[in-house]
A and B are shown apart, each in its own frame.
Chain A
Amino acid sequence: MATLETDVLVVGGGATGAGVAWDAALRGYDVVLADRADLAEGTSGRFHGLLHSGGRYVVKDPVAAEECVTENAVLRRIVPDCIEDTGGLFVTTPDDDPAYGDRFLEGCRATNLPGEEIDVAEALRMEPRLNPGIRRAFTVPDASIDAWKTVWALARGAASRGARILTHHKVVDLHVAGEAVTGARLRNELTGEELDVQAGFTLNASGAWAAQIVKMAGIGGVGVIPGKGIMIAMNHRLVNTVVNRCTMPADGDILVPIRTVSVIGTTDIRAADPDEIPVTQDEVDQMLDDGERLVPSFRDARALRVWAGVRPLFQDEKAGDGEAVDTRDVTRAHAVVDHVARDDIGRFLTMSGGKLTTLRLMAQDIVDAMCRQLGHDRPCTTATTPVPAGGDSHANGNGYYHLGSRLRRREATLQDEQLICECELIGRSRLEETMRRRGTTNLDDIRRSLRLGMGPCQGGFCIYRATGILHGVGRLDGDEASSSLRGFLQERWKGVWPILYGDQLRQARLDDWIFQGLLDVEHMP
């Protein structure tokens, strides 16, 4: 078995893990990050894309709100090209209590959140599709953030400082020697090969899967309640500003414009297993009704895709959490679980809870705790160090992502190359470069990097092309091409069938026409 030695093993390649790897690498540690799948394939890649201003928590959870206020500003400085500065609105719909707005403003003041009430007429001018029956409106500095881009940028930044990023490497066991964790045994999920990592310290950043990792260290009594949330991406930007219902956090009360779509979220349902989170019809219907409350005729708009994510809501029996039933009441604030104090196990820390907006602070807290345990004095510098932007930066003048930038760049080279994905404006050279850089043959991995197949036609046209190109450049043999194409169609189907109505059903049937009637993918060798 091959062996790697490192200062720090980070378990989990979501926003937290990538943030931890970046933070530790910046402090001069040698880092290995392992994820059982692709980066941001778990919770981070399955959220609504909201960079919280903190407004959502000002009444219910002021500590979480304050963290959001600070971290929102920090992320705008360090990963601006992953953020679209949409701004946010909190609106009192006809179904909401207008008095909540007063508590909301009070909470904003108490947490230093720059929330301001504006005229309803002004809000409707900003967002003409909003429910004209809204009674109050408040502006906040919400934004949308591209989780994939963020996680990739952090991982690339860490790698540029020597970190080794091992995707598709699952932790199958932790090494425990005496009273410390000394590394882990990994299995490459693509090849089946095993790899032994000797680590000076192990940081568990595996979110909803953290309890499974903790158990490998022989530690009991830590549970994670997977809190399932579903989200639906609607074709078009129904709004260009993040819109929140001004009420206590509930289901279906956020609409986030991100990239070419807008995402409505979310629900909060206790799941038994973070890997078993099917979307039900009732949940879809509920989201559509909730959308209708924010934007009338929401149901007439086209739904592109539905997915579910799992929040890592922690339950520590020793801390007396007991059996919380409503997962929404479990705190969203994060905490570092100190396994020395709790279990007499050293060189091992677990991150519990948290949210994407506070990923940098979470990383700082857990790496600080590691430094304290190791007796190192290495201060955190992530709040002031910009993360290197990727080659596909879409930044506009002020550094933020801008919706029109991909189109602008594409139009400049319109005559020079083939457009492979018309929906997301992906040219052939970009596709080929991504295949090379990522070294992946998995169409679903490429989808996450490029948004290939994420537009209205859901891969109807581009996926045959991408398969042909992957095969043509020799990265796939015929066998792999067939299974990659079939795998993509199945993965796509999972996200579309619960929302197939209206024009998207029509689109899906056209795609059937192509994949079954014309290409007959089902019977390809």
Chain B
Amino acid sequence: MSHHDAIVVGVGLAGLTAAARLAEGGARVLVLAKGVGATHLGPCTIDVIGYAPERVERPGEALAGLGDGHPYAAVGRDGVQAALDWFKGVMAPYPYVGGLEENLLLPTAVGALKPSAAVPGTMAAGDLREGGEVCVVGFRALKDFHATLLADNLARAGIPARAVELDLVPEGRADVNSLGFARAFDAPAFRSEVAAHLTARLGRDERLAFPAVLGIAGPTAAWSELRDRLARPVFEVPTLPPSVPGMRVFAILRERLRRAGARVILNAVVHDAERSGGRVTGVQARVGLRDVRHGADWVVLATGGFASGGLELDSRWRAREVALGLPVSGAPGPGEERFRAGYFDDHPMGRAGVRVGRDLRPEGLDNVLVAGATLAGAQPWREKSGDGISLSTGHRAAELILGQRAAAPPTEPAKAEA
């Protein structure tokens, strides 16, 4: 058994942010997670709010219109700004650009232009608000990125675009995923080869789109080298999981945590909470066959939504939050309509999650804060708000706890670890 100032459950963007910020603020932090989280799945662009329901150009201004039930209501524009500022500082090794003033418009792998508030610098040249000529570079051996489809759809949207496909095959294998390509791009020889194949084939004013696989060990080395050698703007386009940009972000935040002294245990499945009055005094975590109790003054729940397994719906249509057993709001009951017939419709089930107050606390619990996709009230994929919510609520949760600790230091002496 152990006792910590704060336990953070989950290592997606929300959990990593909360834990890093808490540890920096002097708290002794334990992170428990079932496995690596959402970072490895998503593009890791910080989409704050992209559709509400029309396309949003100024995300900072749109936040206020989202209503009281939305997770951003607990954070506010200033809170989102603070989280973004903190994040951009932490991400110095993999710099992000953008902010709350205006959304960038970056092409997705199918050529839709998606609004994002802040994006990695390796993607920033893909901002096509002002148009521009694009050459999409693809690799036939990479089945998760189709350059001609992307170029064709950009052209249909009025952006001059064409595709060049290269037959370079890392390690001579026919089937290489994004991570395999990223490792290949870590090698200077492969970068040179790619540059050599492209040099003679580029138009004068073209900017170059690559799948987001330009290196994993050094997050910007391959990108900057290609940009310099080809003497044109180069940008990455995120594609199917595994997400190389997400892995870069994960690695940086994880290192940040390590340096700040936080402890991380993966394969730890939190499945129950020990309660005393309105407080959670500890959590039960299963690690392999062992079931261990960890005590804490504060708990940040950042286990994700239905996609990540933080929330579950059983076959009798009962929803539950799996780690602490918190009530789930907004899930239609048995016999009620959960989904509509059109895939892109607004589904009644879409906003289900754990409802919290302005202080991110669920009703009746004093020392539990909820962050990220577990929260009720948002439709992250429809409105393009997922990473914005995760970052800002994770950051806000840490700030709230640090503020409380500063105001009233814990009376109970911290116990030594067992």
Contact = CB atoms under 8 A, between A and B. Distances in A.
A465 B315 contact: no
B155 interface: yes
B82 to A, nearest CB: 24
Interface stretch (B269-277, B378-386, B399-407): B378-386
Contact of B148 (A417, A420, A471, A516): A471
Nearest to B347: A497
Given A519-B109, A523-B113, A525-B156, A418 B42 contact: no
Interface residues of B, number: 55
Contacts of A461: 144, 240
A471 B146 contact: yes
A299 B315 contact: yes
B315 A288 contact: yes
B153 A524 contact: yes
A482 B155 CA distance: 13
Contact of A525 (B141, B157, B173, B309): B157
Given A501-B317, A514-B241, A520-B384, A525 B109 contact: no
Interface string B353-387: 00000000000000000000000000011101010
A300 B315 contact: yes
Given A464-B109, A518-B43, A523-B112, A512 B149 contact: no
B162 to A, nearest CB: 13
A416 B144 CA distance: 17
Interface string B154-196: 0111000000000000000111000000000000000000000
Contact of A482 (B113, B153, B335, B342): B153
Looking at B55, B113, B240, the one whose CB has the most chain A CB atoms below 10 A away is: B240
A197 B144 CA distance: 45
A490 B344 CA distance: 8
A520 B108 contact: yes
B343 A520 contact: no
B335 A517 contact: no
Nearest to A281: B335
A510 B240 CA distance: 11
Interface in B9-47: 41-43, 47
Interface in A402-424: 415-420
B307 interface: yes
Interface string A454-489: 000000010011011101100001110110010001
Interface string B290-324: 00000000000000011111001111110000000
Q: Tell which of B143, B146, B315, B339 has the most Cβ of chain A within 10 Å.
A: B315
A477 B153 contact: no
Interface in A489-525: 489-490, 492-494, 497-498, 500-502, 505-506, 509-510, 512-514, 516-525
B126 interface: no
B146 A518 contact: no
Contact of A509 (B113, B149, B173, B307): B307
Contact of B307 (A489, A494, A506, A518): A506
A428 interface: yes
B102 interface: no
B60 interface: no
Residue among B111, B316, B349, B381 having the largest count of chain A Cβ atoms under 10 Å:
B381
A524 B111 contact: yes
B239 interface: yes
Contacts of B316: 299
Contact of B381 (A416, A464, A489, A517): A517
Contact of A471 (B113, B149, B241): B149
Given A477-B152, A513-B42, A516-B381, A467 B146 contact: yes
B146 A489 contact: no
Contacts of B114: 520, 523
B53 to A, nearest CB: 11
A464 B153 CA distance: 14
B338 interface: yes
> Most chain-B CB neighbours within 10 Å: which of A303, A420, A469, A513?
A513
A485 B146 contact: no
Contact of B315 (A464, A477, A497, A501): A501
B158 to A, nearest CB: 9
A464 B240 contact: yes
A510 B41 contact: yes
Contacts of B148: 468, 471-472
A518 B107 CA distance: 10
Contact of A502 (B143, B238, B312, B342): B312
A61 B174 CA distance: 56
25 contacts: A415-B173, A418-B141, A418-B175, A461-B240, A464-B144, A465-B144, A465-B146, A478-B152, A478-B153, A490-B343, A493-B343, A501-B314, A502-B314, A506-B306, A506-B309, A510-B307, A513-B41, A513-B307, A514-B241, A517-B386, A520-B108, A520-B384, A521-B110, A522-B112, A524-B111
Q: Which 5 A-B pairs have the closest CB atoms?
A: A468-B146, A509-B307, A516-B381, A493-B343, A478-B152
